[in-house]
Structure 1
């Protein structure tokens, strides 16, 4: 049974009411309401193969969550075609609902005043999960997410990170093979973010699950995704390999140096663009094609005590991609 995703010319437009400020504007809106159309998603197309983990990136308001909701059947598209695991999502067929899950980092399905284990039992009934499968899946999720100490605590007594682990377990009890993750690590500390990433990767490998991930934490994307899709103003300016994105929008590396003694800042200009110099440290941006040559020169000609070559931060690369799309 295929668990791929096919999106063809997908659009979602909203009519938004406009009203001028003040009493006059309020009175006018009573007599004649004015609207304008927001093109939240505007003619996008992509295909995700079974078992892929794909990053879905964009600034706030770009259309990420709207797309996720259409793929999971929560919103009816204004135009285009969507096929998720062989189903048309907005038809809301029972078999489709048992194949997918949507995890939103800022939304909770856990019941606040009772232990998470009670929500798990409710989901067992909703998804009609046989007892043997439920026990087996609960055992796997408890082990992978280290849930044992949490199962009997009321949800209100759990930390944010503990609640997120229980949210993931509740969403995956029916073993979906198509997963939409919308900011799953938002608000979590660094250690808990790493736990969630490790779990997502292990679940993908164990069940060959197809995963579409949105996140503002670039560590999520670089740890899990080889491919990224960028959406901005409702359309897609980039869909491809993560390394290709870096090479296209950041065709340089950054040399970070620690000097044994002061050097003249102007002496560094011949190696590349000096981003920062405050003795004993300097950062120099070098074109990727010239990295090997310039690194050899710096080590031979400068009093280097320590030296590293790094890619620019992924946040900067994504920002450059957005800026390039804005200027197009």
Structure 2
């Protein structure tokens, strides 16, 4: 990064800052069986689990940042502390200048949370009814409310769905309404947890386009947790990888993937029945007379594709990057330093 870029970063407002942030839980454990249950009545044993371990973090206003890592890495615990749902065990935390766990109304009006597996919509109401309810909850001025509804409805093209019951909407349509609801009060920070989970490819693209627009046009700081590589790679300029509650990578998303994506996944669909011979170095995942799926080293993929096109009658070819899980696993193995 150049000196000019460093100066620009320093001029940005820091909206999220933590220092040695730690969250520990005490969990009761007992020996198995009836005897273990009886012993636990007199001698209860507890173990301490560290969900977030001495984490330092700074996020600037307007950043689109990914939090990635396996289940149990500490991502959700971190988001819960940033939103005030739980209190840290130790360390310093500041979000928009507030200590989140005080749950001050002035703080709660400045962020929003959207979770792909949990809904804030009322299924028996229409989206417009839910919007009106949130307008009252957040005391949104009428002109701001109308401007935001018109703006977000236009981006998503959902004007024809505003007066139908939420329970009749598809999953993709509901997620669009979830995002509109979350953004009605113009939050400064939006926390997203798997916003595209379960959606088809078209709905995922619409959600990504919407979030990119909100980040760029509204200047909303967005913190995304996702296991979908395309979400992270297409939206987030910065990625933070967490493992065992510790931050093991914090930097440029493209550099992260370029360093650790070492394979390409190639899917071939044949025009006629073929006996496919896997090239040297390939790992076959699936094979039939009409289809072949295999992994090859990234640096060999271009040359191999040229030879395959010349040898086989192909109806379609799909080339995909390593999945996010494989990338993150390699980061853990390498100790978190991008090559």
Larger mean CA deviation between 152-161 and 313-322 belongs to 313-322
For 2:256, which of 235, 241, 245 is the aligned residue? Answer: 245
Tell me, yes or no, if structure 1 residue 15 matches structure 2 residue 20.
no
Match of residue 321 from structure 1: 331
Per the alignment, do residues 189 and 12 of structure 1 end up closer, same or farther by CA in structure 2, a change over 3 Å counting? same
How far apart, CA to CA, are the structure 1 residues paired with 2:305 and 2:149?
56
After superposition, where does 1:63-74 map in structure 2 within 5 Å? 63-74=74-85
Q: How big is the shift at 1:122? A: 1.4
Greater displacement, 30-39 / 124-133: 30-39
Alpha-carbon offset, residue 257 of structure 1: 11
Question: What is the TM-score when the length of structure 1 is the normalising length?
Answer: 0.83
> 8 Å contact 1:249–1:317 — kept in the other structure?
yes
Corresponding residue for 1:44? Answer: 55
Q: Which moved more, 1:164-173 or 1:2-11?
A: 2-11
C-alpha change, 1:21 and 1:7, in structure 2 (3 Å) is same
For 1:112, the equivalent position in structure 2 comes to 123
Structure 1 position 93 matched with structure 2 position 98: no
2:297 corresponds to which residue? 285
User: Which whole-Å deviations, capped at 9, do the CAs of 1:37-68 have from their partners, x for residues lacking one?
Assistant: 11111111121121111110010111111100
3-state SS in 2 of match to 1:305: helix
Provide, for residues 5-40 of structure 1, a one-character-per-residue CA deviation record: whole Å limited to 9, x for no partner. 112111111111112333322222233322111111
> For the Cα contact (< 8 Å) 2:111–2:190, is it kept in 1?
yes
> Offset at 1:202?
0.6
Q: Give the whole-Å Cα distance in 1 for the aligned partners of 2:321 and 2:144.
A: 46
Aligned partner of 1:123 in structure 2 is 134
**Corresponding residue for residue 207 of structure 1:** 218
* Aligned with residue 305 of structure 1, among 302, 305, 310: 310
Secondary structure (helix, strand or coil) at the match of 2:26 reads strand
- What residue number does 1:164 align with? 175
Cα deviation, residue 224, structure 1: 0.2
Partner-residue secondary structure (3-state), 1:12: strand
Task: Tell me: CA distance 1:240–1:314, structure 2 relative to 1, closer, same or farther (3 Å).
Answer: farther
Counterpart Cα distance in 2 of 1:77 and 1:85: 17
CA distance in 2, matches of 1:239, 1:304: 40
Compute the displacement of 1:311 (Å): 7.6
Which has the larger displacement, 1-10 or 191-200?
Answer: 1-10
Judged with a 3 Å threshold, the aligned counterparts in structure 2 of structure 1 residues 117 and 256 are, in CA distance, closer, same or farther, namely closer
Structure 2 residue runs without a partner (length 5+): 1-11, 269-273, 312-316
CA contact (8 A) 1:103 1:181 kept: yes
Alignment counterpart, residue 26 of structure 1, candidates 32, 37, 40: 37
Supply the distance in 2 between the matched residues of 1:203 and 1:215 (Cα, whole angstroms).
18
Q: Is the 8 A contact 1:2 1:86 kept in 2?
A: no
TM-score (norm 2): 0.81
Unaligned runs of 5+ in 1: none
Provide, for residues 248-277 of structure 1, a one-character-per-residue CA deviation record: whole Å limited to 9, x for no partner: 334x5659799xx99997xx76xxx44459
The Cα of 1:134 is off from its aligned counterpart by 0.8
Tell me the CA shift for residue 137 of structure 1. Answer: 0.9
Change in Cα spacing, 1:304 to 1:142, as seen in structure 2 (3 Å) is closer
Write the distance in 1 (CA, Å) between the matches of 2:304 and 2:43.
71
| Count of residues in Structure 1 that have an aligned counterpart in Structure 2 | 312
Alignment of 1:153 onto 2:164: yes
Question: Structure 1 residues 257 and 140 mapped into 2: Cα distance closer, same or farther (>3 Å)?
Answer: closer
